[in-house]
């Protein structure tokens, strides 16, 4: 089994020391014996780094090998490695960077002017002028823009959550077809062994003059068919394994551990339509986008109001050499105030109208999404119920068919008759067993679909 060790760390405590291991986000801690580690430290000084690494890996390998065998571990690995999901999270981080951009004041302006021909004044000629000016939007404009950017980031985060849930659903729907295919291979191989024993039984009956050579040929025909089915199923596993490993962003040939026997919980699952409509991230994203467009409408309206500017002008004045004045050559300082005049109203009116149309758009999209979710919910509930009923039926039919095969095989060994019925019932048993595996796959795929619709990242 391939084991992946992400990292380890050793922490020291005053009374009890612990070694903590981190594997795929799960921490497993157990006590560390001081005597053992004192001896280990004395030996480490005499070992090279390669031997040290070998000892540590050998010591750490046991606790991390278990989590890699579960579907939950594969889900977490997909969440950590899938490039599409990483891209969605980066989209969220990009949206966060919009908040300080939209909530900041415009940059102040600084200007400098030099008088080519000095302007003469009573206290001396003006040589240069330095001006600093800061514009301020109308009250509430920056707050509305910040709210819009924050709500946009929250909506993007809900999109990321939906992408994560969808990825979990994809991994789950890729996992259970693998279980189904491998289970069918196992069932076909068991069937091959049984058919081989039936052939031996028919051969024995023929040698004792109780059966016909036709029975042996019939068994041979079914054995050939079974061998072909096994080969086809094994070929079917290859694209399924590739698709699963690609979701985890790892090499196509990576080994996949699948549970050997998966059962269905026959207790009824409580399905709630309101849970889907309340927790689904896509609906939450539409609610946030609606609030964002409302904040954009406020910001657009306030952008159409005058902006106020506050500034300061400093004038450099030279002294007059021909007179004696108290304020001769004194520099001038002049506070200033300015205001924009938003006379061209079309762009501001259009921005307000744009925000209002976005609100209508998001309301309609949300309503359409709710309709789609309700339809998908009803279909998913039906699929869960159907798979569970087929599973129960196949369990009953498998038990009865096995009893019938035992009786027919016993009767054939005594009389040498009805061998074709034995083979037919064996084939029917195989169909029931394979249908049971398909029902397991359909059931857990439908449950995963319900979890995705409900906004729950579960397997």
Which residues have a Cβ under 8 Å from the Cβ of 344 and sit 6 or more positions away?
none
Supply the pLDDT for residue 37.
34
Q: Could you read off the pLDDT of 247-288 as tens digits, one per residue?
A: 999 999 899 998 888 888 877 778 889 989 999 999 999 999
For residue 8, the cross-strand partners are 21
Average pLDDT, the chain: 83
Q: Could you read off the pLDDT of 91-142 as tens digits, one per residue?
A: 999 999 999 999 999 999 999 999 888 888 888 889 999 999 999 999 999 9
Q: 47: helix, coil or strand?
A: coil
At residue 212, does pLDDT exceed 70?
A: yes
DSSP 328: T
CATH class of 83-104+137-305+342-454: mainly alpha
Mean pLDDT of 333-353: 94
CA distances, 414 to each of 26, 195, 205, 220 (Å): 60, 18, 9, 21
At residue 459, does pLDDT exceed 50?
A: no
Sequential DSSP letters for 241-254:
HHHHHHHTTS-TT-
Supply the pLDDT for residue 458.
53
The encoded tokens of residue 37 equal 């580690």
Supply the pLDDT for residue 3.
31
The encoded tokens of residue 99 equal 């908040």
Q: How many residues does the chain have?
A: 459
Q: Which comes out higher in pLDDT, residue 44 or 156?
A: 156
Q: How far apart are CA 197 and CA 195, in angstroms?
A: 5
Q: How far apart are CA 202 and CA 422, in angstroms?
A: 11
Q: Which comes out higher in pLDDT, residue 7 or 190?
A: 190
Where is 449: in which H helix or E strand?
Answer: helix 419-454
Which burial class, exposed, middle or buried, applies to 321 when counting CB atoms under 10 A from its CB (0-12, 13-18, 19+)?
exposed
Supply the pLDDT for residue 149.
96
Domain ranges of the chain: 7-69, 83-104+137-305+342-454, 107-136+306-341
Q: Which comes out higher in pLDDT, residue 113 or 322?
A: 113
The torsion angles phi and psi of 266, rounded to 5 degrees, stand at -80, -5
Supply the pLDDT for residue 55.
32
Q: Could you read off the pLDDT of 403-441 as tens digits, one per residue?
A: 999 999 888 888 777 888 889 999 999 999 999 999 999
Supply the pLDDT for residue 457.
63
Residue 40 — pLDDT band, cuts 50, 70, 90?
very low
Mean pLDDT of 395-406: 94
Q: How far apart are CA 3 and CA 23, in angstroms?
A: 10
Check: CB of residue 288 under 8 Å from CB of residue 282: no
Find the radius of gyration of the CA atoms of the chain.
38
DSSP 67: G
Report the alpha-carbon angle 368-369-375, nearest 5: 95
């Amino acid at each position: 089994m391939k084991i992946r060790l992400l990292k380890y760390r050793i922490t020291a405590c005053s009374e009890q020391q612990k070694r903590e291991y981190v594997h795929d986000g799960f921490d497993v801690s157990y006590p560390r014996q001081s005597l053992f580690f004192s001896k280990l430290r004395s030996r480490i000084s005499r070992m090279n780094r390669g031997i040290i690494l070998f000892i540590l890996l050998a010591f750490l390998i046991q606790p991390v090998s278990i989590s890699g065998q579960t579907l939950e571990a594969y889900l977490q690995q997909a969440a950590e490695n899938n490039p599409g999901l990483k891209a969605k999270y980066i989209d969220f981080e990009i949206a966060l960077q919009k908040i300080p951009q939209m909530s900041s004041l415009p940059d102040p302006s600084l200007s400098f002017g030099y008088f080519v021909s000095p302007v003469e004044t009573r206290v001396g000629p003006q040589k240069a002028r330095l001006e600093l000016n800061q514009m301020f939007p109308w009250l509430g404009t920056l707050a509305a823009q910040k709210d819009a950017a924050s709500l946009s980031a929250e909506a993007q985060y809900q999109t990321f959550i939906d992408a994560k849930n969808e990825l979990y659903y994809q991994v789950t729907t890729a996992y259970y077809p693998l279980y189904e295919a491998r289970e069918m291979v196992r069932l076909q191989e068991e069937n091959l062994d049984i058919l081989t024993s039936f052939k031996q039984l028919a051969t024995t009956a023929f040698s004792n003059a109780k059966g016909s050579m036709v029975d042996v040929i019939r068994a041979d025909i079914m054995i050939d068919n079974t061998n072909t089915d096994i080969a086809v199923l094994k070929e079917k596993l290859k694209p399924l394994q590739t698709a699963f490993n690609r979701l985890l962003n790892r090499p196509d040939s990576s080994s996949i551990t699948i549970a050997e026997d998966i059962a269905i919980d026959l207790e009824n699952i409580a399905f709630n339509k309101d849970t889907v409509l309340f927790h689904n991230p896509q609906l939450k994203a539409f609610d946030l986008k609606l609030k964002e467009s409302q904040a954009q409408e406020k910001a657009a309206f306030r952008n159409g109001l005058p902006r106020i500017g506050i500034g300061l002008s400093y004038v450099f004045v030279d002294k007059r050499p021909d007179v004696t004045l108290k304020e001769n050559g004194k520099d001038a300082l002049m506070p200033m105030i300015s205001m924009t005049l938003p006379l061209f109203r079309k762009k501001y009116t259009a921005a307000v109208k744009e925000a209002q149309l976005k609100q209508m758009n998001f309301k309609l999209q949300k309503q359409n999404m709710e309709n789609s979710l309700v339809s998908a919910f009803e279909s998913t509930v039906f699929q869960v119920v159907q798979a569970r009923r087929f599973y129960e039926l196949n369990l009953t039919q498998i038990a009865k068919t096995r009893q019938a095969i035992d009786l027919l095989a016993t009767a054939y060994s005594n009389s040498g008759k009805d061998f074709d019925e034995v083979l037919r019932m064996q084939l029917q048993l195989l169909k029931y067993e394979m249908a049971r595996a398909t029902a397991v796959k359909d059931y857990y795929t439908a449950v995963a679909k319900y979890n995705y619709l409900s906004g729950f990242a579960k397997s």
